[in-house]
Amino acid sequence: MSVSFWMSRVERPRRPALDGDRDVDVCILGAGYTGLWTAYYLATADPALRIAVVEREHVGFGASGRNGGWAAAELAGMDRMLADPATRPGMVRTWREMTRAVVEMGEVAAAEGIDCGYARGGTVVAATRPAHVPYLQHSVATARDAGIGEEDVAWLDAAEAARHVTPSRLFGAMYTPHCAAVDPARLVLGLAVAVERRGVKIYEQTPGTPIPGGVQTPTGTIRAAKVVQAVEAYRTGLPRQRRSVIPVYSLMVMTEPLPAETWARIGLAARQTFSDGRHLIVYGQRTADDRMAFGGRGAPYHFGSAIEPAFDLDPPTFASIRRTLVDLFPALAGAAIEGEWGGPLAISRDWRPAITTDGDRIIAGSYVGNGVAAALLAGKTVRDLIRGDDTDLVHLPWVGHRARRWEPEPLRWVGVNLGRKLTESIDRAEDAGKKPKVRNAIFRRLPVG
Ligand SMILES: Cc1cc2nc3c(=O)[nH]c(=O)nc-3n(C[C@H](O)[C@H](O)[C@H](O)COP(=O)(O)OP(=O)(O)OC[C@H]3O[C@@H](n4cnc5c(N)ncnc54)[C@H](O)[C@@H]3O)c2cc1C
């Protein structure tokens, strides 16, 4: 069975497992975007490097084969870091690199013949409730105070916003041109082929454990001068890393292809990615074949940071995502849903991604659900770290950033699920036209966003 609707539509080559010991220069754990962009940039910079990618399941098995396909310039935690004068300059540099990453993804896809439906239409975050207006205007003002211009992030009034998208209620929107819509599975599978063309070896069905001097697998040891750990939410399954991140599930639905009349009522003519100002994140994209791919958070966190295939499919969450979709776009009331899937993403204790070094091992990820473009930037940064190049990238604030560990259970389970309930209850109150001031004050103190 495929891990997502995206993955079910593509031919996926099977790659053999590791069969014996190997000596390489760099061994990468995980064949998602982070692992493969790292392999891509390393192999491009130094074709003589011996690089192996070890993947427990198959290329794109993780979030990279399942996501919403937003390659956005936003990095998790950006708003908070732009608002704080101490962290602002570093985050502005990061934002510039992220905007470049969004463009570069399209350039690499074109150069490597990766047919992933890349379309840089930007992102429109609509105020679909009056309560959303001040939140979104605050984000725009924060960007402006940091010197990010109108051409990069803009507030649009309702009439201007309606030129991008027309949900059932519209009170304005935040718009940025720095986002591309992609087919995530085609991107990850295409990247794998591109790195193999450069001599990188990918071993599927090969679970690895980092050990001093390399990686241990059930079918052989890979000795490597450098190990890159790029396993995102699955990190919780590696020794001594159970509390480094939590796996949080995001779930998605895919409609049938929609006729031109329906799209004329919805908008998104340039394939802008779409969200709104609610607290519990929802996200959508118009696919290259005119479907609506739409997802959201809200699925439960499972005790002990458990990850199980059954958790990918949570009927109450799917029902809620479908209700939200039709509430936003009544034109979709009769549209058939042709796919439902989900998967875990990694959230660190301070909701910030990081690239850290631990001896000969580099660990990259914890993107908090914003990893599609960020993984490209991570790949270039890990390349520079491994090559010892003193570039601007290795001085970005996420390099060397360490979040503290999550609390032990049962505190973690109670805290994370209470946070989820609080978020839902604020949205419900605002839907009813109320101002839940106390709950909002508590929310603002949580390390989220
Ligand atoms: C439903 C959903 C929607 C999302 N939507 C968006 C979006 O629209 N935009 C956005 O920016 N981000 C989105 N994200 C997040 C984004 O997909 C991820 O941040 C990104 O794909 C992470 O890439 P990765 O390579 O670091 O990790 P992954 O893609 O998760 O890859 C990790 C890989 O490591 C493998 N692995 C695990 N353990 C081992 C081991 N011991 N040995 C070997 N291999 C191992 C796994 O099998 C997996 O293939 C979404 C995530 C989900 C789940």
Whole-angstrom Cα distance, residue 437 to residue 449?
A: 18
Do residues 17 and 10 touch, judged by C-beta distance below 8 A? no
Tens digits of residue pLDDT in 192-250? 999 999 999 999 999 999 999 999 999 999 999 999 999 999 999 999 999 999 999 99
Angle, CA 380 vertex, CA 288 and CA 28 arms, to 5°: 90
Whether the per-residue pLDDT at 440 is higher than 90: the answer is no
Whole-angstrom Cα distance, residue 133 to residue 126?
A: 9
Whole-angstrom Cα distance, residue 109 to residue 56?
A: 25
Tens digits of residue pLDDT in 347-391? 999 999 999 999 999 999 999 999 999 999 999 999 999 999 999
DSSP 139: H
DSSP 436: -
pTM assigned to the model: 0.97
Pocket around ligand 1: residues whose beta carbon is below 6 Å from it?
A: 29-35, 54-57, 61-64, 66-70, 72, 207-208, 230-234, 250, 252, 283, 295, 342-343, 345, 365, 367, 369-372, 375
Q: Is 309 exposed, middle or buried (0-12, 13-18, 19+ CB in 10 A)?
A: exposed
Whether the per-residue pLDDT at 254 is higher than 80: the answer is yes
Backbone angles phi, psi at 405, to 5 degrees: -75, 155
Whole-angstrom Cα distance, residue 350 to residue 334?
A: 41
Question: Residue 232 C-alpha to ligand 1 middle, in angstroms?
Answer: 6
Question: Residue 35 C-alpha to ligand 1 middle, in angstroms?
Answer: 10
Alpha helices in 273-431 (DSSP H): 315-328, 372-387, 411-431
Tens digits of residue pLDDT in 32-71? 999 999 999 999 999 999 999 999 999 999 999 999 999 9
Written as six digits, the tokens of 411 are 């505190």
Specify the ligand 1 atom closest to the Cα of 61.
49
For tokens 């939410």, the residue is 233
Question: Residue 344 C-alpha to ligand 1 middle, in angstroms?
Answer: 7
Do residues 409 and 301 touch, judged by C-beta distance below 8 A? no
Question: Residue 432 C-alpha to ligand 1 middle, in angstroms?
Answer: 35
Q: Which residues pair with 423 in a beta bridge?
A: none
DSSP 267: B
Whole-angstrom Cα distance, residue 231 to residue 321?
A: 27
Q: Write out the E strands in 111-182.
A: 123-126, 154-156, 173-176, 179-181
The preferred substitution site among 6, 40, 56, 314 for testing ligand 1, maximizing ligand atoms within 8 Å of CB, is 56
Whole-angstrom Cα distance, residue 266 to residue 274?
A: 11
Quote the mean pLDDT of the chain: 96
- Which long-range contacts link 144-148 to residues 24+ away (Cβ below 8 Å)? 145/82, 145/83, 146/82, 146/88, 146/91, 146/92, 147/92, 148/82, 148/92, 148/95
- Other beta carbons within 10 Å of 169: 15
Tens digits of residue pLDDT in 276-311? 999 889 999 999 999 999 999 889 999 999 999 999
Domains with residue ranges and CATH for the chain: 5-445 (3.50.50.60)
Q: What is the pLDDT of residue 449?
A: 41
Backbone angles phi, psi at 106, to 5 degrees: -65, -40
Whether the per-residue pLDDT at 403 is higher than 80: the answer is yes
Q: What is the pLDDT of residue 448?
A: 53
Rounded average pLDDT over 393-412: 97
Question: Residue 353 C-alpha to ligand 1 middle, in angstroms?
Answer: 13
Specify the ligand 1 atom closest to the Cα of 215.
42
Whole-angstrom Cα distance, residue 222 to residue 313?
A: 35
The preferred substitution site among 67, 242, 286, 297 for testing ligand 1, maximizing ligand atoms within 8 Å of CB, is 67
